[in-house]
Structure 1
Amino acid sequence: MTIEWTQEDLEAREEQVRMIRDSAVTLVSRHGALERARETRYSDLGLDPAIWREFCEMGWTGLRVPEEKGGAGLGMLEYVALLEELGKGLVPEPLIEGALTAALLPQAAATAHIQGEQLILPAGIGGVDQPPVCRDNALDGEVRRVSLASAADAFLVACDQGLALVDKDAAGLTLERQLQQDGSHVATVKFNNTPVRELVSSVDVDAALEDATLGCAAYLLGVMQAAFDETLSYLKIRRQFGKEIGSFQALQHRAVDLKIQIELTRAMVTSAARAIDQEFPIERIRRAVSTARVKASTAAMLVTREAVQFHGGIGYTDEADIGLFPRKVLVLLNRFGGVDGHKRRFMSLIDEEDA
């Protein structure tokens, strides 16, 4: 049943969102946004463990987990606001993945994860053609493209029996790392009669994946907003023919077009978040999430590429910060479903509604 919000409800949510945004802005600026994004590129872990623990201390890992299970019990509006601000700073810590596992782990493991005692990352949840096989409490098989696998203490693995919690140092588990365009890494996690710490069942994987998918869209919104802001600043200081290039009407029109794409994305992300918070019918939630995800991916690619072009030749050099943004977008395009997959899901939901 859909939850109706009163004006008081809306005002309370707006205040919570503002507080979340303020705390995220403070943390990102305190640790240095783009400077730290550069520092973590090509590093062994791909993140800063101290900052990840700070995320946990602030309750961000369990932000969507109910209070009775040790989380903050907040809604999607707060979650997408947080991820937008983290996206602006190109924050490398895997909050989306960490929040996904926090929602699915059994109580003891979830508590350790939420409190920062262990980092448990998802492996294959939401998309694996041939999941590992679990027999006699041991896994065999592999999962590809596990994000920041080297930083994990354990993995929550999608297998043929559901979800399996496996320690990274368990016997028979090996990693094969591959670098990505933004300097982070993914890995193929291989299991050879690897013991399972615990099998997990009776959890709502679909709901957790909707959160993660919309979280990716919100993070991309932050990335494109920051790239746009950097570009506006550049247009105000770069001079040609005796005047700032931002005064040229052709560039102004291009900038306005990009701003429109950003605001359309923001509206779609907010609409999908409200659909989840107000407990709309699941088909409507899925349509809204897929719409926001597709728009965020296509708009982020457009905005960040255009931002590089606005900077001219220097924008294509590795030294230019503006180039960090499209690289981040590239690695997120297919996280929790690509554009084509979400278009197909949207159309299948429309067909079901019309049937």
Structure 2
Amino acid sequence: MIRDSAQAIARRGDLRRARDWRDRSPGFDRAVWRAMGDLGWIGLRVDEADGGSGLGMLEFCALVEELGATLTPEPLIAAAAAVRLLGRNAGSDRLSGDRIVLLAWQERAGSLDPAGGASVAGGRLSGCKRFVPAADAADEFLVTTESGLVLVPRDAAGLTVERSPGQDGGHLATLHFDGVQGELLPGDAGRVLDEAALATAAYLLGVIEGALALTVDYLKTRRQFDVPIGSFQALQHRAVDLTLQAALTRASVESAAACLDGGAVGAEAQAAVSRAKARASDAAMLVTRQTIQLHGGIGYTDECDVGLYLRKAMVLAPAYGGAALHRRRYAALQSPVDEVVDEVADGP
């Protein structure tokens, strides 16, 4: 039912909105954003007692997978993470899409520490946060610090937004805080950031599937020597390899979502998320590059839609931690288990 509801906005095979909103501010349609709020998507992970839908990660991953297949540009993952952290403070206007609040958590590339980069002293926020998506559209930012969360209006005195273009035609922003007055709230972003990383992996799964579907259709219709090029065994083998990448990514994402929904916490949950995000990031880059090659020369032109999937993968593969970072975290989380196994094997 979640996947079916996504068809109201995201229609597979239709990339017109993805093209229309490239290199435009704010990068997406506010009317579509409100429609997402009406469908309950923004608050899908928020508890029912706080005005949300109270659904799990399996449902949220299914939703964003559909959005990834059509390259839907709305910043659902960042906004859903923010309202989940706000909980009962989210308010109906944020859950409905009338106000957009985005999570600002990252200090630098290659870091998963939400506490760095910004600090609170004397009730005022200073420092910076980077890589905030769709910041032009934000009404507020939810900023992570060592002292907790700080809710900052977009037009707050002392806040400067430095905008940089992204490969996908959107933009990422660096927020500079110079004694900004905000609302200090309690909260620990660690769990929510893991959920956002897993949701990004699910979006990348959708990117993989969208690129593959476009490519398989091309292999069936493009003809050479009076036969479809999809009849050439060498190209069939390459398509099968990419389909296996999609299947492995799906298994990893759904396994991690089930793990989180099953109540896993701490190292178990983090390891499941890191395994899924590392695989999705690597697979998305591999599949989107290969699908461009399978299109031949036309795949390298901007008019060919398959290139849009590579551009989106280039932006999201490193988001919430890239493959190398999550592999390192996974290895670090496994080492205590390995030590216990070694001790048992060696005896007392």
Q: By the TM > 0.5 criterion, same fold?
A: yes
Q: Which of these residues, 271, 283, 286, is aligned with residue 255 of structure 2?
A: 271
**Number of residue pairs matched by the alignment:** 334
Partner amino acid for 1:292? Answer: A
Q: Which residue of 2 aligns with 1:352?
A: 336
- Residue 48 of structure 1 pairs with residue 33 of structure 2: no
Deviations 1:158-211 (A, max 9, x none): 123221100010111111110010100011111112111x1111x342221121
- Residue 160 of structure 1 pairs with residue 142 of structure 2: no
Q: Which residue of 2 aligns with 1:5?
A: none
Q: Which residue of 2 aligns with 1:146?
A: 132
- Residue 231 of structure 1 pairs with residue 215 of structure 2: yes
Q: Which of these residues, 29, 44, 49, is aligned with residue 11 of structure 2?
A: 29
- Residue 200 of structure 1 pairs with residue 185 of structure 2: yes
- Residue 133 of structure 1 pairs with residue 119 of structure 2: yes
* Maintained 8 Å contact 2:115/2:144: no
Q: Which of these residues, 48, 58, 68, is aligned with residue 87 of structure 1?
A: 68
Task: Tell me the distance in 2 between the aligned counterparts of 1:342 and 1:268.
Answer: 14
Partner amino acid for 2:329? Answer: R
Task: Tell me the distance in 1 between the aligned counterparts of 2:277 and 2:122.
Answer: 39
- Residue 248 of structure 1 pairs with residue 232 of structure 2: yes
Q: Which residue of 2 aligns with 1:112?
A: 93
Q: Which of these residues, 319, 323, 335, is aligned with residue 335 of structure 1?
A: 319
Task: Tell me the distance in 1 between the aligned counterparts of 2:280 and 2:89.
Answer: 35
Structure 2 SS opposite 1:28: coil
Deviation at 1:110, TM superposition (A): 4.1
Structure 1 SS opposite 2:8: helix
Q: Which residue of 2 aligns with 1:305?
A: 289
Partner amino acid for 2:35? Answer: E
Structure 1 SS opposite 2:40: coil
Partner amino acid for 1:176? Answer: E
Task: Tell me the distance in 2 between the aligned counterparts of 1:34 and 1:251.
Answer: 25
Closer, same or farther: CA 127–180 of 1 in aligned 2, 3 Å: farther
Q: Which residue of 1 aligns with 2:78?
A: 97
- TM-score when normalising by structure 1: 0.91
Partner amino acid for 2:159? Answer: L
Task: Tell me the distance in 2 between the aligned counterparts of 1:235 and 1:327.
Answer: 21
After alignment, is 149-158 or 137-146 more displaced? 137-146
After alignment, is 49-58 or 127-136 more displaced? 127-136
Aligned residues with identical type, % of pairs: 49
* Maintained 8 Å contact 2:131/2:173: yes
* Maintained 8 Å contact 1:33/1:90: no
Q: Which residue of 2 aligns with 1:12?
A: none
Deviation at 1:339, TM superposition (A): 1.1
**Superposition CA RMSD, Å:** 1.5
Q: Which runs of 5+ in 1 are unaligned?
A: 1-18
